[in-house]
Structure 1
Amino acid sequence: MCLAGRAARIGGIGESIEPLQDFPSVAAVLVNPGVPVATPLVFARLERRDNPPMPPLPKLADLGALLAYLEDTRNDLEPPAVALAPAIGAARAALVSGGAGFARMSGSGATVFGLFGDDAAAARAAAAIRAAEPGWWCVPTRLGEAQPA
């Protein structure tokens, strides 16, 4: 996703990569609380490795469809990562408090993302988070569209 600059659905331990063709353009805020989280430690704390598969990916025509889909999914690595680095949970809570329609940890952490209804709401949330937590990396962005180089 980072190298290709496009949305993808990742599964397994990161080896399953499915590029998403029709991902909607969505206002988002990315937050990293600046705490190191070693991926091997996160996986070592994973309580279950036999979770049921994620629901099939529907057509994601807009933010509403994306939010509905995400509500039925999970990041199995989030609970062990938050146990190792509680600041991840605080960053996620800051996004929700800032008005995110959905927030979750990305990958094995420590970055979290929040999805917003528009760019202005994302910018306000990012500004509030930066003011409250100046040591955190926090940036508003858009997902689902090419970013300038």
Structure 2
Amino acid sequence: MITNPLCVKAPAKINLFLRITGRRPDGFHELVTLMCPVALYDTLTLTPENEGLHVVCGHPDVPEDEFNLAARAARLFVETAFPEASRPVSGLTIHIDKTIPVGAGLGGGSSDAAAVLTALNRHRGNPLSTPALMELAGRLGADVPFFIPGGAALATGIGDRLEPFSRLPTWTVLLVYPNVAVSTAWVYKNLNLRLTKDEKKLRKFHFKDRFFNVAEHLVNDLEPVTIKAFPVIEEIKRLLLAHGAAGAMMSGSGSTVFGLFKTPGRAESAYSALRNNQRSQNWTLYVADLLIHRPVIA
């Protein structure tokens, strides 16, 4: 697949806005969500091998077999980009250095898969266009296409229809992971869609040509479901707000909670305060910047 080792970084993401708008006959949920990458990264090293496809990761909850999303991405790329007669025959080992927590609502597995697709495509001379690569990513999972172009985006449908969104203040975020892994499938299964529809106030058009407003837009329909099972999420929100966050919310289906801070200094002060809080000894904290704009790739 490759001739020399490739090292790529895969960023986490947060959901700054998440509304569930319906459920399709196939069981997938329709939604409107504003996602933004953050500067918290997994590091993937792709190393050529004589044969086979292997995954190496020290995290106990990350599979090292064909069910790993990054491995599935590599296999799907080769099968799609090259006719069988010209398909690369050499193997690949994907080493994943996990920093993004697993089951945390930060999209780490999806980002890893997108990073593999992008790295292999670039290494092989871009046989797939960006739209084609995003279509391929969509076969792996609803969040994977978001990570292909980079930058903040408003997602609709099941998360597969993306529009770039640059009208975000340059906050610094403090991410707090309470070391509780949450099953996304479980959260959606327990979502009361009737109640979320009754309470719905915002729709996609409210974002058009407007800057994101914390007081108005910081919403997550999945948060009440996860809080019922893990009340620590509500506790973390209170602490973040008490230590100067302009807003605080759970990301995705959880369990990570993020606080938005106007300056890096305020975020670092809150980090120190929470670090010294006896209750937070089992939590993992990260300070990171929003990656609002799509990267420029030469």
Aligned residues: 140
Superposed, 1:34-73 pairs within 5 Å as 34-48=179-193, 51=197, 52=200, 54-55=202-203, 56-57=206-207, 58-60=209-211, 65-70=212-217, 73=218
Q: What is the TM-score normalised by the length of structure 1?
A: 0.79
* Rg larger for: 2
Task: Give the 3 Å change call, closer, same or farther, for CA 15–90 of structure 1 in structure 2.
Answer: farther
Q: Which runs of 5 or more structure 1 residues have no equivalent in the other structure?
A: none
TM-score normalized with structure 2 length: 0.42
Query: How big is the shift at 1:97?
Result: 1.5
More displaced 10-residue stretch of structure 1: 74-83 or 1-10? 1-10
Inter-CA distance 13–137: structure 2 relative to 1 (3 Å threshold): farther
Q: Tell me the CA shift for residue 10 of structure 1.
A: 3.8
* Residue among 280, 284, 289 paired with 1:142: 289
Does 2:228 align with 1:83?
yes
CA distance in 1, matches of 2:222, 2:233: 12
Q: CA RMSD in A?
A: 2.4
The residue correspondences of 1:81-120 to structure 2 (distance < 5 A) are: 81-120=226-265
State the shift of 1:66 in Å: 2.9
Report the Cα distance in structure 2 between the residues aligned to 1:59 and 1:144, rounded to whole angstroms.
19
RCO higher in structure (CA 8 A, sep ≥6): 1
In 2 relative to 1, CA 145–16 (structure 1 residues): closer, same or farther, beyond 3 Å?
closer
Instruction: Assess if the C-alpha contact under 8 Å between 1:78 and 1:108 holds in 2.
Output: yes
Q: After TM superposition, what 4+ stretches of structure 1 lie above 4 angstroms from structure 2?
A: none
Identity level (%): 34
Is contact 2:251-2:257 (8 Å) kept?
yes
Which amino acid letter does the alignment assign opposite residue 54 of structure 1? L
Q: Which structure carries more strand by proportion?
A: 2
